[in-house]
Structure 1
């Protein structure tokens, strides 16, 4: 019995080892699945942490190109899973419609947006102030400014507003130096010049006040920036709770806002930005082309090239190149003017000036039409865009330079036309009268003469002999009337 149990023990142990060997391959797939899952989770976490902060740079007047660049940049950052979008802003202001498009894109963004007024010396004036107030994080670099957000009516007379009357201490009238909480919380300001300006100011004040209330910023100062055109430095803005952070650069900004909580699409989000990498998203070719076309100076030059090209083509049809280039330039100019707020009275004056200059070339009037064209062109250039709107006014040197160049073209073309008129006629019937020739042979009713190497039939009251020199005094159809060089001959001479 003892031997049997001893023999049975090794057999049982061998069976157990065989069973474990059979179970081991069955557990391998689950182990590998767990390992792959851990690797995928780790890779996803690494990718989420490694996603860079997208940096957009707006360093010009706010216009259609700026709006397209910012809107597309925010959308691309959201698609790429970026943790934050930083807009480096340095602008003197710009168009209201473009500013509102950028604000709407920031408010609807799925990614937190930080507007950073930088580098040192930059500003966020006028439209830039609204954009900064709309951002989730508002930041400024030292030695930067923001404010002066009063809207300017383009092309409307009397839209300018006078600054508020100040007392001797430099404070606006109606405000309390000692206790700012007393009295009406809304700042005192002068009445706008007309009803249209009043509507614009009230609308802009309500708009920026709503942005301030949504982001928890200083709404009272925001309204003062609209109604009184006040400005703040970076330090003053931080003390007045207009901005959240003052940072030296983007790296410093990311370190300072790390751990802050922002509200994105109704949900609270804690920023983890310390040490994140940055990716500058530069404008693509489409946005750069749009920026060039939306430049008022370039739009005016394109329009002039288009009109002059078509004028040259109509005056000398068949050449082709001026008409083609002129048509392209004129269409591009129309597209650019469609993007910009144009004063149509100024545009009509420019077209009238160019038409008068063209009329002076075609029908010289001793400079009357040309002078009127230059005056109309200069007046139209001054009125075409409002010079008070940053980035939209046409430079005076450009206006006077184009007017001077147009005058030079008119004088040059008119001088050539005058010289051509004074030249002797070199072809046609008029040139044939007075021409000299020689008699080749007699004919039944006249003679054959050679004029400018051509053989003509001629008649004369004088007897004509071969080899005699004659002068043309008239033309009847294809027969010349000639007389001899010595004048009419007498009957005695004929014998």
Structure 2
């Protein structure tokens, strides 16, 4: 009985120890640290990569996700998608601007402010978060207010004044957004205001002194050591203490999916794919039956449309680009004396300038690129169109149509009819004149499978080595 009691007590202690060891951690949170590296412009591929890897880290019960970032900025839509994922994340997110020499400019500043922990490496910087957009008339540099003549109140209704008002709305919206993130994370709202309105920037030491970031760490091991034991407030108010000193670090580089999306979402490549698709379909329509250009053109057009769907494009610009291509195609067949071609080039260039609704780094379309692509398109379409027009004007050299006018030799004449050899083939022939084997005839028309012919005079005999008599 005594041994049984001791055994039950030992079993109870083992169960209690197991439960205490495996109970949900209200204080320390261990697990691996997942490091996601983002280098370059923030776009649709970046937001897709972050969302997928964040979900995988949550399934693996990671204790912390570190976003190692070096970016000049990016698209507003992609940035806001990443920030929404950070704010709703069920585990802590730390953004580290590194390694040394990296930056978190423009969109990177917003992401840094939104993270639970903001860290930077020495010799890095953040800021310059002023939104920039095109297509707004009268835009002035940030922080510069146009002077108005008090005697002329109508200037407020000018396009320049309207453009300034629109830009001011955009800046106010961006400043309020960054300020709200600063208030949520307890960071400096003063610098958030200046980063948007004055394009202010700070170094890592200045950012730490101003209360913009939490930690300066030269590398990831130092960052893990400094974050160990820090408490983080997650979504819903739940507090979680980090245990990163001895945590395993798993670095995840962008996979093939992100690389493909990054290539496809390049606006210059999307525009080129669109034009290649138009060229290929044009070649298929002018030379039907080949098949490969039509299939390749359809694929290129679909990929280009998918890229436009990912990007913040102006669909009026897409329509102008398509109109320009159609006008340049029409120039190859219609006698417009260059009017359609010039109009097509102008529409193509203007549409390319209006194509993107942003001037985020890496997403602009340079004017020389547009002009070069438009001129190349005009020359290529003109060359293909001229070749197709010359081909149509040539006589037919194959098929049933080319039999008209062909010279044949009568091979057989029977009571049922006559037969002749036409281009190596035996055809039934009919003529209003009597025919004899060996007669030379010319095909006048085709009636079903019967050729109507007319006799030709016999060829004069030739003297060997001389001229005919």
Shift of 1:153: 3.0
Alignment of 1:74-153 (within 5 A): 74-153=54-133
Q: Which digits, 9 at most, give the CA deviation of each residue in 1:282-303, with x for residues without a partner? A: 4455544443432323322333
Shift of 1:436: 5.1
Paired position in structure 2 for 1:200: 170
Check if 1:239 corresponds to 2:218. Answer: no
Instruction: With the length of structure 2 as denominator, give the TM-score of the two structures.
Output: 0.77
Paired position in structure 2 for 1:417: 388
The DSSP-based 3-state class of the residue aligned with 2:180 is helix
Paired position in structure 2 for 1:227: 197
Report the Cα distance in structure 1 between the residues aligned to 2:223 and 2:446, rounded to whole angstroms: 96
Note closer, same or farther for the CA distance 1:458–1:341 as it changes in structure 2 (3 Å cut): same
Shift of 1:455: 6.0
Q: Which digits, 9 at most, give the CA deviation of each residue in 1:240-279, with x for residues without a partner? A: 2222222211222222333444333324444443343212
Check if 1:281 corresponds to 2:252. Answer: yes
Indicate which of 122, 126, 143 corresponds to 1:164.
143
Paired position in structure 1 for 2:34: 54
The DSSP-based 3-state class of the residue aligned with 1:262 is strand
Q: Judge conservation of contact 1:159–1:197 (CA < 8 Å) in 2.
A: no
Report the Cα distance in structure 2 between the residues aligned to 1:73 and 1:440, rounded to whole angstroms: 81
The DSSP-based 3-state class of the residue aligned with 1:93 is coil
Which runs of 5 or more structure 1 residues have no equivalent in the other structure?
A: 1-21, 167-190, 488-495
Instruction: With the length of structure 1 as denominator, give the TM-score of the two structures.
Output: 0.73
Paired position in structure 1 for 2:274: 303
Note closer, same or farther for the CA distance 1:375–1:482 as it changes in structure 2 (3 Å cut): farther
The DSSP-based 3-state class of the residue aligned with 1:114 is strand
Indicate which of 61, 65, 69 corresponds to 2:45.
65
Note closer, same or farther for the CA distance 1:448–1:209 as it changes in structure 2 (3 Å cut): closer
Alignment of 1:163-182 (within 5 A): 163-164=142-143
Check if 1:209 corresponds to 2:179. Answer: yes
The DSSP-based 3-state class of the residue aligned with 1:131 is helix
Note closer, same or farther for the CA distance 1:475–1:321 as it changes in structure 2 (3 Å cut): closer
Note closer, same or farther for the CA distance 1:459–1:246 as it changes in structure 2 (3 Å cut): same
Which runs of 5 or more structure 2 residues have no equivalent in the other structure?
A: 146-160, 461-469
Q: Judge conservation of contact 2:435–2:455 (CA < 8 Å) in 1.
A: no
Shift of 1:210: 1.6
